[in-house]
Amino acid sequence: MNNDNHDMFTDINSDDIYQHLDDIDLEQRKGWPQALSELIDVLAASRLKHGEEEKAAKRQGLQLALAVAEHFGGMQFYLPKAKHLEQIVRDIQIWQDFDGSNTKELARKYDLTEVRVYGIIREQRRANKNRLQNDLFI
């Protein structure tokens, strides 16, 4: 590639793309990379599910997909299933629900063994302590 061609491609940046998002017809995506097209659909569907109007949801899906593509584009990486994030949220909820003597109730509520609930409480106590100690240095 000569320098003229290189300059031609460096003129377009993400700010330019964001300014022209409304010009993109999301219904006409023939030739788009499949993963990018699916990502836009998944993100837009998530926004719709959370009450966003359709046009805004599609625009936000496109904006978010662009941000993901800018950061991860061209990389091969492992994306864990949502269950990992769900477990993190569950563990935080268990910590918030813990009153010092309700491990049996928490085990029933979250369908876990008491041993696992104790383990989660220990992990959350440690994480909370680390957060508090880090706040002291800010």
Q: How far apart are CA 23 and CA 56, in angstroms?
A: 14
**Residue 14 pLDDT exceeds 90:** no
Residue 137: pLDDT band with limits 50, 70, 90: low
Q: Are 106 and 94 in contact (CB under 8 A)?
A: yes
Domain boundaries, the chain: 3-72, 82-136
pLDDT in tens, 29-78: 788 889 988 999 999 999 999 999 998 998 899 999 989 998 999 999 89
- Give the residue among 113, 111, 120 at the shortest CA–CA distance from 93: 120
Question: How far, in Å, CA of 134 to CA of 137, rounded?
Answer: 5
CATH code of the domain made up of 82-136:
1.10.10.60
Please give the Cα distance from 57 to 48 (Å, whole number): 6
73-115 pLDDT, tens per residue?
Answer: 999 989 899 999 999 999 999 999 999 999 999 999 999 999 9
In this prediction the pTM is 0.63
